[in-house]
Chains A and B, each alone.
Chain A
């Protein structure tokens, strides 16, 4: 108890001394780690360039404006590709992720010893790797293009879809499931009547949410050759065509804002 008796007085402190010391020690270690890491970054930095940064930023800004609007006409096709990468990638991810989720959920998995760890492994490994890395890999395996990009988005999203969905499955109201079991329904029927209606809102919500994220991700896949508007960003950057870069960035911003708007509308409509 942090109440110490000093004769007649009872002194109240928030924490007792040992705990207080421990907290200070933790702060000290934390700050030391941070300073150490900062020193590493600082050593790897050419500070001369950094001090020059405001001038460079102003210089780039000056070159980037006004945007080269004629370039827009070349961008419609890659933008269309970008949207397709995101949409079809999300669709593929859902098709593959849903069974994985049912295998991974504690209350629906057919085998806890064998299939569940396998499903969890799929979830962890697809989720841990950024879609850009998947794109890098797929481009080197099946060649550049939007097909590689779509697969990259799909693989990265499997883990996301499956993880959120299996958590939703594990959180369902079990009495509703019991009620369906009590009617003599088969296992598949219990899933279709007792579980699916309960997870539907979560499922729809996370699908549009992931689609929204994927629009953002697919705008950059072109940097590694996986198609979409990122290719044009890359080539414009390579020739230092800043006015074109501005146009591309504006276009990406608008696409991201629209997709965010759509996804929030759809999510509201579902609940």
Chain B
């Protein structure tokens, strides 16, 4: 190598070194996309027809109709907010002990596996599917939505909080332990201060997610503004739909603003 010939060519080294694997993957991707492409049956005439309606929908945004169905809209939004508040609070309260149990550096193995199991189940199914089951069991109304979102809040907060607890600074934890503190004191002095900012950040983020989700639960009868939205689309009342969507976006924006404010204060 040291006696370099005057003309050495150079090529960028490929991302995947194994030639067989590289071309195999490439072939797989190409075949997949061709197969996927041909399994689409698009009714272009229907799409073309729809363009008018699409345009109407966009126009509706410049002239949203808050008035005609204001009663339905306000009731729906209000219910969404209520579901968001209750499910987030209950979800977080239940998530904290589960997170402690799901942190491998705190909990004994059986507790750890049990709590991780709860988290896995809570995260695996989409909220809408859970909501369908809850509506079947508890009947129509916001209670089903509340239970659904509290359940998925547990999965979300407990998983991320447990990961954060597992990543805490060991010296601090050891220092507190070496003072002869009890287990609860240790949690209170060594763990809690380290994970608190993260917990607050996650909780606020979850408020945001829960509100967005609560706006669709109505589609399956679990309360919130989703039902109104669904009706509006079914009747092609795009101006009402636009009004609802604008309200959702506005509330999400406010939540995002508040959350960045609080997060900046916490850190």
Query: Would A and B touch once assembled, by the CB under 8 A criterion?
Result: yes
Whole-angstrom distance between the alpha carbons of A77 and B43 in the complex? 19
Complex CA distance for A127 and B42, rounded to whole angstroms: 26
B43 and A143 contacting across the interface, CB-CB below 8 Å: yes
Please name 13 further chain A to chain B contacts, defined as beta carbons within 8 Å, in addition to the given A40-B142, A81-B39, A223-B220, sorted by A numbering: A34-B89, A42-B143, A50-B143, A56-B136, A80-B39, A87-B36, A128-B249, A128-B252, A133-B245, A136-B229, A142-B50, A145-B43, A217-B126
A88 adjacent to chain B (CB < 8 Å): yes
Say whether B183 faces chain A, with CB atoms less than 8 Å apart.
Answer: no
| A225 vs chain B, min Cβ distance (A) | 11
Contact B129 A249 (CB under 8 A): yes
Chain A hits for B142, CB < 8 A: 40-41, 44-45
Is B137 touching A60 in the complex (CB atoms < 8 A)?
Answer: yes
Output the least CB separation between B139 and chain A (Å).
4
Q: A37 to B85, alpha carbons, bound, how many Å?
A: 7
Residues of B close to A176: CB separation below 8 A: none
28 A-B pairs whose Cβ atoms sit less than 8 Å apart in the complex: A33-B85, A40-B82, A41-B142, A44-B141, A45-B139, A53-B138, A56-B136, A80-B39, A81-B39, A124-B249, A124-B253, A127-B252, A128-B212, A128-B249, A130-B212, A133-B245, A139-B233, A140-B233, A141-B50, A141-B53, A145-B41, A145-B43, A147-B40, A219-B126, A219-B129, A220-B126, A233-B129, A252-B129
How many interface residues does chain B have, given as a range?
A: 35 or more
B125 contacts the other chain (Cβ, under 8 Å)?
Answer: yes
Contacts of B85 in A (CB 8 A): 33-34, 37
Give chain B interface residues in 127-185, CB to chain A under 8 Å.
128-129, 132-133, 136-139, 141-143, 146
Q: Which residues on the A side are within 8 Å of B47 (C-beta)?
A: 142-143, 147
**Min distance, Cβ B156 to any Cβ of chain A, angstroms:** 12
Which residues of chain B are near A60, meaning CB under 8 Å?
133, 136-137
Question: What is the bound-complex CA distance between A143 and B233, given in angstroms?
Answer: 12
Determine whether the beta carbon of B241 is less than 8 Å from that of A237.
no
Known contacts A133-B215, A217-B126, A50 near B139 by CB under 8 Å: yes
A256 on the B face (CB < 8 A): yes
Q: Whole-angstrom distance between the alpha carbons of A182 and B34 in the complex?
A: 44
B102 at the interface (CB under 8 A from A): no
Q: Which residue of B lies closest to A33 (CB)?
A: B85
Chain A neighbourhood of B136, CB < 8 A: 56, 60
One digit per residue, 1 when the CB lies within 8 angstroms of any chain B CB and 0 when it does not, for chain A 187-224 equals: 00000000000000000000000000000110110011
Complex Cα spacing A134 to B248, Å: 13
Q: Which chain A positions have C-beta within 8 A of B141?
A: 44-46
State how many residues of chain A have any CB contact under 8 Å with chain B.
53
A257 to B146, CA, bound (A): 25
Complex CA–CA separation, A80 to B38 (angstroms) = 12
State the CA gap A80–B40 with chains docked (Å).
11
Supposing A129-B249, A145-B43 touch, asked if A37 and B139 sit within 8 A by C-beta, the answer is no
The secondary structure that dominates the B interface is helix
- Tell me, in angstroms, the Cα distance from A163 to B50 when the chains sit together: 30
Q: Which of B43, B53, B81 has a CB less than 8 Å from the CB of A140?
A: B53
> Taking A44-B142, A130-B213, A217-B126 as contacts, is the C-beta distance between A141 and B42 under 8 angstroms?
no
A253 engages B253 (CB within 8 Å): no
> Which of these, B54, B124, B128, contacts A132 with CB under 8 Å?
B128
Q: Inside 8 A of B128's CB, which chain A residues have their CB?
A: 132, 220, 223
Contacts of A150 in B (CB 8 A): 40
Interfacial residues, chain B to chain A (CB-CB below 8 A): 32, 36, 39-43, 46-47, 50-51, 53-54, 57, 79, 81-83, 85-86, 89, 124-126, 128-129, 132-133, 136-139, 141-143, 146, 212-213, 215-216, 219-220, 223, 226, 229-230, 233-234, 236, 241, 245, 248-249, 252-253
Give A147 to B206 CA distance when docked, in angstroms: 31
Known: A141-B50, A252-B125, A253-B124. A132 touches B216 (CB 8 A): yes
Q: Which of the listed residues A87, A125, A257 has the most CB atoms from chain B within 10 Å of its own CB?
A: A125
A12 within 8 A of B: no
In the complex, what distance in Å separates the CA atom of A57 from the CA atom of B124? 20
The residues of A that contact B248 with a CB separation of less than 8 Å are 128-129
A49 within 8 A of B: yes
Contact of A224 among B79, B82, B219 (CB under 8 A): B219
Return the contact of A41 from the options B36, B40, B133, B143 (Cβ within 8 A).
B143
A41, A88, A223, A257 — most chain B CB neighbours (10 Å)? A41
Is the C-beta of A165 less than 8 angstroms from some C-beta in chain B? no
Q: Does A95 reach chain B (CB closer than 8 Å)? A: no
Question: Do B137 and A53 touch (CB < 8 A)?
Answer: yes
Complex CA–CA separation, A248 to B136 (angstroms): 17
Residue contact A130 to B126, C-beta cutoff 8 Å? no
Known: A130-B212, A141-B57. A37 touches B82 (CB 8 A): yes
**A181 adjacent to chain B (CB < 8 Å):** no
